[in-house]
A and B are shown apart, each in its own frame.
Chain A
Amino acid sequence: MSAAATHHGISAHRIQAMVLRYWYLLMSSWPRLLELIYWPALQIITWGFLQNYIAQHDNFFARAGGTLIGAVILWDILFRGQLGFSISFLEEMWARNLGNLMMSPLKPIEFLISLMIMSLIRLAIGVIPMTLLALFFFDFNFFAIGLPLIAFFCNLIFTSWSIGIFVSGLVLRNGLGAESIVWTMMFGLMPLACVYYPVAVLPAWLQWIAWMLPPTYVFEGMRALLIDHVFRADLMVWSLAINAVVFAASFAIFLALLRSAKHHGSLLGGGE
């Protein structure tokens, strides 16, 4: 038996095994695949036509072409990134497979890394068709943003993983009764992250809270780029710094919730 030899450190083999598990699942179910593409496509079409309509009647939006569509795509990276992470986690709860995994040599960090990888895969399946629709229907080339897009993407995906780790911990501790948090948590951030409007429109006291959220910097940065044609590196650095703190905190909270679940015997059931 070779298992004993591989118990130290993080194992790429175990991470690969978990990614393979989710890949098998995705490939075995066309509704799961369709769902990944359906909602982003619906979003971009709806908001794209709305942007076209507004641009015909408002000089500002005619000038700042693409801010709405760009915001929709970046929001979807944030939202779908978290869903991609959390749904893979929920699949284990729905399948009552968590006990098998927790009893195996798989470590929590390896489990979370595999969920992050699946989040990227699911995001790619959903968002790439979305960007192509934006290009062909609305003449908005998302990838023309260029290098700043990497900074936007990295910051948003880190936030989505942090939220994903946090809500997965809540479900782990409280069972599937807490499942609705997975679907709704990100929408709680939406008004404060200023996805579709500048931070300046918020009341002063709310702006303080908005600036505590990493995605706020990304959406402000996107508007600066598309409207003023300026890349605000300072905003990206702030976002990254806050993301680092939030990511570390969410991981620590996940471990604490896992420990609490073991204290309360939640891993044996996983139901409501």
Chain B
Amino acid sequence: MNVPVMADSETVPAQSPAAGPQGPAAIAVAHLIKLYKTTRAVDDISFRIACGSVTGLLGGNGAGKTTTIAMIMGLVLPTSGRVQVLGHAMPEQSAEVLGRMNFESPYVDMPMRLTVRQNLTIFGRLYAVENLAERIEQLASDLDLKDFLDRANGKLSAGQKTRVALAKALINQPELLLLDEPTASLDPDTADWVRQHLQNYRRTHDATILLASHNMLEVERLCDRVIIMKRGRIEDDDSPDQIMARYNRTTLEDVFLDVARGRVAETAP
């Protein structure tokens, strides 16, 4: 028997997923399904994410995390179901919200031949950032980019590229930040540094963050709430502490293994 999906997703109203009992949601997903031919990549999921929260999407490869985030961003169209972002239906009203959100993903790169400053200038202009030169200097200072601001993106190390991608994701000071594996392939020091910066950003901007990750420590440290996905469905949805308590585990990694191997809360040791 699977652990029941938690209250947040059950309270998704049928007609207006953005309006819930906890007030306006940054993201509201209702009965979302994505079929690729015969594969159900996402299988009837519903959840609301409160403004100002940090939520982690956990799951193994093929769990549907990336597809879910891509549907929230409007990069992938759902087979059925509804997505609302910052109160607007996606993708129909994407023009209303794309300037207020941003994302970072290992599935995209910044142009390699352009310098960091040129890349940030272009994305700053696309997002109509005011006082762009100042904003770039501020990001360079915050994310420690100053030494290579005028170096081509392709000549940076993996850690430096990740910081540049994060600078691009923060260029417009988004209200909603979607992160897909934000610290993948980073050394522990750089990964810790990125997490610290995300925490600061959330605190100073009251931003909403949704991140997909395989890194359980990262999720424990950053997230108020965790949604665990498996084979396109939501297996569990609660705070990290509640989920660990329910599985009688001390780390999310152990919970993740329980879920991946089919052990459910009631039967986990």
Binding site for B on A (CB under 8 A): 1-8, 11, 13-14, 16-18, 20-21, 24-25, 28-29, 91, 95-107, 259, 262-265, 267-269
Flag if B127 contacts A3 (CB, 8 Å).
Answer: yes
Measured CB to CB, the closest approach of chain A to B19, in angstroms, equals: 21
Contacts of A267 in B (CB 8 A): 70, 75-76
Flag if A3 contacts B73 (CB, 8 Å).
Answer: no
Flag if B91 contacts A97 (CB, 8 Å).
Answer: no
Contacts of B66 in A (CB 8 A): 268
Contact partner of B91 (CB less than 8 A), chosen from A5, A100, A262, A264, is: A262
Interface status of B184 (Cβ within 8 A of chain A)? no
Contacts of A264 in B (CB 8 A): 36
Complex interface bits, B93-115 against A, C-beta within 8 A gives 1, otherwise 0: 00110111011010111111110
Contacts of B36 in A (CB 8 A): 264-265
Chain B residue with Cβ nearest A4: B99
Measured CB to CB, the closest approach of chain A to B92, in angstroms, equals: 12
Flag if A96 contacts B113 (CB, 8 Å).
Answer: no
Chain B residue with Cβ nearest A5: B128
Given A2-B130, A3-B172, check contact A105 B108 (CB 8 Å): no
Chain B residue with Cβ nearest A17: B125
Flag if B113 contacts A13 (CB, 8 Å).
Answer: no
Partner-contacting stretch, out of B116-124, B242-250, B255-263? B116-124
Contacts of A96 in B (CB 8 A): 107-109
Flag if A2 contacts B73 (CB, 8 Å).
Answer: no
Measured CB to CB, the closest approach of chain B to A19, in angstroms, equals: 10
Chain B residue with Cβ nearest A21: B122
Chain A residue with Cβ nearest B165: A100
Binding site for A on B (CB under 8 A): 36, 66-67, 70, 73-77, 91, 95-96, 98-100, 102-103, 105, 107-114, 118, 121-123, 125-130, 152, 168, 172-173
Contact partner of B114 (CB less than 8 A), chosen from A3, A28, A99, A262, is: A28
Q: Please, how many angstroms separate the alpha-carbon atoms of A3 and B96 in the complex?
A: 9
Q: Please, how many angstroms separate the alpha-carbon atoms of A17 and B126 in the complex?
A: 6
Contacts of A104 in B (CB 8 A): 98, 123, 126-127
Q: Please, how many angstroms separate the alpha-carbon atoms of A262 and B168 in the complex?
A: 23
Given A1-B100, A1-B172, A25-B114, check contact A100 B125 (CB 8 Å): no
Contacts of B75 in A (CB 8 A): 99, 102-103, 262, 265, 267-268
Given A1-B100, A99-B107, check contact A262 B172 (CB 8 Å): no
12 pairs, CB–CB < 8 Å, chain A vs chain B = A3-B100, A6-B128, A7-B98, A24-B114, A91-B111, A96-B108, A99-B108, A103-B73, A103-B102, A105-B95, A105-B126, A267-B76
Q: Please indicate which of the listed interface residues A11, A21, A101 has the most CB atoms of chain B within 10 Å of its own CB.
A: A21
> 16 extra interchain contacts, Cβ-Cβ under 8 A, other than A16-B125, A262-B74?
A1-B173, A3-B128, A6-B99, A17-B125, A17-B126, A20-B125, A91-B111, A96-B109, A97-B111, A102-B74, A103-B73, A103-B75, A103-B103, A104-B98, A105-B95, A107-B95
Contacts of A98 in B (CB 8 A): 108
Q: Please, how many angstroms separate the alpha-carbon atoms of A28 and B98 in the complex?
A: 30
Measured CB to CB, the closest approach of chain B to A272, in angstroms, equals: 15
